[in-house]
Amino acid sequence: MRTIPSSELIVNDDGSVFHLHLKPDELADTVILVGDPDRSSMVASYFDRVEHSAANREFRCHTGTLNGVRLTVVSTGIGCDNIDIVMNELDALANVDFAARVVKPGPQRRSLRIVRLGTCGAVQPDIPLGALVMSAVSGGIDGLLNFYADSEAVRDLRLEEAFVRQTGWDERLARPYFVRNDAGLIELFGDVAIRGLTLSAPGFYAPQGRVVRLPLARPDYLEKIERFEHEDLRVTNLEMESSAIAGLAALLGHRALTVCTVIAQRTAGDSKPDYAAFVRNMVETALAKLTRNA
Ligand SMILES: O=P(O)(O)O[C@H]1O[C@H](CO)[C@@H](O)[C@H]1O
Ligand SMILES: O=c1cc[nH]c(=O)[nH]1
């Protein structure tokens, strides 16, 4: 059995994992991921009891209970590079024996239920500001999953081919990848969120087709994304983390879903800078779902 060197999985002197500063017994089976550290504390403010809190850089974690269900909320900061850290460290907390530095045997492994509650921009005209969109499929143009072996096993390769073909994908960019999210979680949120294909971009501006001062390499980029269709799927929204969560969850044997509230309407050219009420609605809706159907 491979012993994981301390350079590969760094454990702090107090026994907590390097970035998240959590110890294995401080992680619940249901994990809520949010981008904004303040949103992590906001989610925890709904808990009946908070048993543990930790903070390091952009990663603010709280574990507690609500309606008898144990939950951990973690802020990820922005971007799929941060998700690489968060997902690997969550999985290590669940499935690596920190003392022996070995992966736990199969029967001892935990499958986490992971829900991202984020903000996004809608790319279809019929999805209004404040709507909830859930990612039946998460698509990544960030490239992260391409670094992991055997990612083909969890990717929808037909969807990938169709996307590359229909958009005339520039080969200088990372190969896109598409991963289906957990069917049970999709069903759980089916009556409150629009079902769609979420694209995660490696930036907020040009990678999401935004022009402020610098022009786009491909002026028709956003239009091609909007027009893409495959079977019953179209790109509903753009954000920056969902693909890496879906991809790494699938590779590691966890169940994941992303739900986002719309704070920018890209076809109407509209936005809601003060989106606190939208986020509150999303968090209350998700907590009710996750603690009623555990
Ligand atoms: O509100 P969060 O969860 O951070 O999500 C979205 O907002 C950030 C960009 O403003 C990116 O992280 C994007 O994915
Ligand atoms: O348009 C948007 C809004 C929020 N977050 C994003 O990444 N894009």
**Residues 191-214: tens digit of each pLDDT:** 999 999 999 999 999 999 999 999
pLDDT of 170 higher than 70: yes
Contact between 120 and 237 under an 8 Å Cβ cutoff? The reply is yes
In the DSSP assignment, the letter for residue 107 is G
Does the predicted TM-score (pTM) go above 0.95?
yes
Helix or strand holding residue 86 (H, E): helix 80-95
pLDDT of 256 higher than 60: yes
Three-state secondary-structure class, residue 196: strand
Q: Give the model's confidence band at 271: pLDDT under 50 very low, under 70 low, under 90 confident, else very high.
A: very high
Mean pLDDT value across residues 144-159: 98
Mean pLDDT value across residues 145-152: 98
Q: Is 239 a pocket residue for ligand 2 (Cβ < 6 Å)? A: yes
- What separation in Å is there between the alpha carbon of 172 and the centre of ligand 2? 23
Q: Ligand 1: which of 36, 41, 78 to mutate, judged by most atoms within 8 Å of the beta carbon?
A: 78
pLDDT of 294 higher than 60: no
Q: How far apart are CA 38 and CA 58, in angstroms?
A: 10
Helix or strand holding residue 41 (H, E): helix 37-44
pLDDT of 293 higher than 90: no
Helix orientation angle between 80-95 and 242-252, rounded to the nearest 10 degrees: 30
CATH superfamily of 24-292: Nucleoside phosphorylase domain (3.40.50.1580)
What's the pLDDT at 290?
Answer: 98
Q: What is the pLDDT of residues 42-83, one digit of tens each?
A: 999 999 999 999 999 999 999 999 999 999 999 999 999 999
Q: Which residue has the tokens 């969890």?
A: 154
ipTM exceeding cut-off 0.90 for this assembly: yes
Q: Ligand 2: which of 225, 260, 263 to mutate, judged by most atoms within 8 Å of the beta carbon?
A: 263
